[in-house]
Amino acid sequence: MENFLNEDKVTPTHLLQLFKNAMMKASLDEENDIRVTTVPGSLFLFQVLSEQKMLKYVGMFGFKKRANTSKKWVLLNQLNSEVILSRFSMPREDVLLSEYFLPYEEGISSYQVINCLRLFERVTTGAIRQFDGSDLLE
C-alpha cells in the first residue's frame, strides 16, 4: 500500500484498492462511488470530487415511517449544533444524511483517507446514538 497518493492517483479505482488493503468491505458502484461497509455493519459512500479536489464521505440513515417531522427537525438541528465533524441534512423525509469533506490538493496520505473514514463513522453513529432519544432512526 502506498503511503502517499499523489493528486493524479486519487481516483475511485486507487481508493477502492486502498480500502480493500485496509481490510474493509468495499466495492465500486455504477456511479463510480465507493461503497464501504464497516465492521458494525454501517454503509458509507465515498466520492472523489475531482474538480474540487475533495473527498466526500457520506452516511445515510433511514427514518422510521412513524417518525414525527417536527422531531426529525429537532434531531437534525441538534446534530448540527453539537457535532462539528460532519454536516447533517434531510434531503428527503425518510433520510438523514451525514457528510464530511476532505481536501486532497497535491495529494493525500493513505492513512488520512482510512483514518478519516473511521473517525467519520465513529462520530456520526455515536452522535446518532447520543441524540436520537426519540428513536426516530432505523
Q: How far apart are CA 119 and CA 7, in angstroms?
A: 22
Threshold 0.85, pTM exceeds: yes
Q: Specify the higher pLDDT residue, 1 or 72.
A: 72
CATH number of 4-131: 3.30.1460.10
| pLDDT tier, 25 (very low <50, low <70, confident <90, very high otherwise) | very high
pLDDT at 42: 84
| pLDDT tier, 1 (very low <50, low <70, confident <90, very high otherwise) | low
Closest by CA position to 128, among listed 88, 101, 91, 99: 88
Domain residue limits, the chain: 4-131
pLDDT at 41: 76
